């Protein structure tokens, strides 16, 4: 899959593999709507990065301090990890669905579940988590 794919770029950026394609489509639409040309420019430059083991380093290089793509990348990270992001005007774009809220990566990365959506039994919190993203 080319790195021009929003899902692929997101996987490199977030450090989490196998992101949900449906969620990816929804997030791409939200970020694209908010950042328009800046988002397109980021995708265009990211598409030049060859797929493969060096992709993460190349994307990091693209996002070094002073990069014009920093803000878009920052919000792509935020939307994947929290299901919300900050628009250019400073307003916060809220999750559109409960599935988006539940899929926020932060909780999976720390071994927790999205607040208010636990499907775990009483007392699960006594032991350390077994699974992480």
Partner 1 sequence: MNFDFDVIIVGTGVAGALCAYKLAQHGDGARILMIDPGVNDIDDKQRMSYRTTFALTANRSAGQIPTYMDLARDRFAPSVDGIDLTRYLVQSQPPTPNPENRSLYKVPYQRLIGGSTWTWRGNCPRFIPSDFELKTRYAIADDWPFKYDALEPWYCDAEDELGISGSDAEWGNDSNWVKSGIGGTRSRPFPMPNIVQSFSDRKIIAAIGTNMKQEGVTIEAISTPQARISDNTKYPDRSTCRGNSNCIPLCPTGAKYDAGVHLRKAFDKGVQIRKGSVVTRLEAAANGNVHTVVFRDWRQDISKDQRLTAKIVVLAANAIETPKIWLTSELGNKSDQVGRNLMDHLQIEVVALFPEPIYTFRGPQGLSGIEVFRDGPWRNTTGAFRMTIGNDGWGRAELPTVSIDKSFFPADKPPIGKAAKERLRDRVTRMMRISCSTEQLPSSDNRITLSEKRDELGLPRPQATFRIDDYSKRTLERAHKVASAILSQAVTNAGGDPAKAEIQPPVPKPPAEFNTAAHAMGTMKMTSDPSKGVVNSFGRAHEHPNLYVLGSSVFVTASSANPTLTIAALTLRTAAEISKRL
Among 4, 5, 7, 16, binds partner 1 (CB under 8 A): 16
Q: Say how many Å lie between the first and final Cα of the chain, rounded.
A: 21
| Contact between 126 and partner 1 per CB under 8 A | yes
Cβ-in-10-Å burial (0-12, 13-18, 19+) of 75 comes to: buried
| Contact between 57 and partner 1 per CB under 8 A | yes
Q: Which C-beta is closer to partner 1: that of 2 or that of 15? A: 15
Phi-psi region of 5 (alpha: psi -120 to 50; beta: other; left: phi over 0): beta
| Contact between 51 and partner 1 per CB under 8 A | no
What one-character DSSP code corresponds to residue 50?
P
Angle made by CA atoms 52, 55, 60, in degrees to the nearest 5 = 170
| Contact between 23 and partner 1 per CB under 8 A | no
Per-residue binding string, partner 1, 89-108, x by CB under 8 A, is: --xxxxxxxx--xx---xx-
Q: Which residues bind partner 1 (CB under 8 A)?
A: 12-16, 56-57, 59-61, 63-65, 70, 73-74, 77-78, 81-82, 84, 91-98, 101-102, 106-107, 109-129, 132-133
């Amino acid at each position: 899959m080319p790195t021009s794919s929003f899902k692929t770029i997101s996987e490199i950026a977030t450090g989490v593999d196998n992101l949900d394609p449906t969620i990816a489509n929804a997030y791409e639409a939200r970020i694209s709507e908010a950042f328009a040309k800046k988002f397109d420019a980021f995708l265009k430059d990211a598409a030049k990065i060859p797929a493969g083991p060096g992709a993460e380093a190349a994307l990091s290089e693209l996002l070094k301090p002073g990069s014009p793509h920093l803000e878009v990348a920052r919000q792509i990270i935020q939307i994947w990890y929290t299901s919300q992001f900050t628009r250019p005007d400073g307003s916060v774009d809220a999750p559109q669905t409960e599935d988006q809220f539940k899929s926020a990566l932060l909780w999976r990365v720390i071994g927790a579940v999205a607040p208010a959506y636990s499907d775990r039994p009483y007392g699960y919190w006594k032991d350390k988590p077994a699974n992480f993203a």
